[in-house]
Amino acid sequence: MSKMEEHLRQLQDLSATCLFVGWGKALERGVTTISEASLSRTINPDILQHMFRYIQCNKDCTYDERTCIVCSRHHGEKLAITRHGDSGSPLICDGFVTAVHSRGIGAAGWFSRNYTIARHTAVACVKDFISETQLSYLRSVSPKHYHYINGQPVLTP
């Protein structure tokens, strides 16, 4: 088992808290219930959105031997859900990009309690598909344009 796979299994065993960031649609200010959110009261954000999510293992996430699917959940006072446009966004655990967002999972009762689940693909399972060319490109741009606001690059110091 590689170090990445070992780290992933430890996170899953501990139900670790991780940071999720994304540019997906955000709920308008004042939206507090899922019924309001389902009325398409969403906006395209001007700033990178974030939330903390907990790694959760359940039957939807452990159906394969390598556990390439990572589920995360949010349960809190404020409505916080993954939305369209978040696919490919990172789930960062212990300072490492652990998984990339795939899709949200919904069920009627969850939203009334502000309990949302999202599925992510573990980087440990796809690391062999990331080519040296892609890694070189990421290394070359990482100290320069790290994120965008209103479509314009924001330079890092």
User: Phi and psi for 113 in degrees, rounded to 5?
Assistant: -100, 5
Q: Residue 7: which CATH number? A: 2.40.10.10
Across the range 62-75, mean pLDDT stands at: 69
| Dist CA 48 CA 131 (whole Å) | 27
The range of the structural domain enclosing residue 103 comes to 3-131
pLDDT of amino acid 99: 86
Within a domain: 142: no
Within a domain: 157: no
Evaluate if residue 156 carries a pLDDT over 70.
Answer: no
Within a domain: 112: yes
Within a domain: 149: no
How many domains, the chain?
Answer: 1
- pTM of the entire predicted model: 0.69
Within a domain: 83: yes
| Dist CA 20 CA 100 (whole Å) | 9
> What confidence tens digit (pLDDT) does each residue in 84-135 have?
778 888 888 888 888 888 877 655 544 555 567 787 888 888 877 777 777 6
Within a domain: 138: no
Within a domain: 96: yes
Within a domain: 100: yes
- CA-wise closest residue to 8 among 104, 89, 123: 123
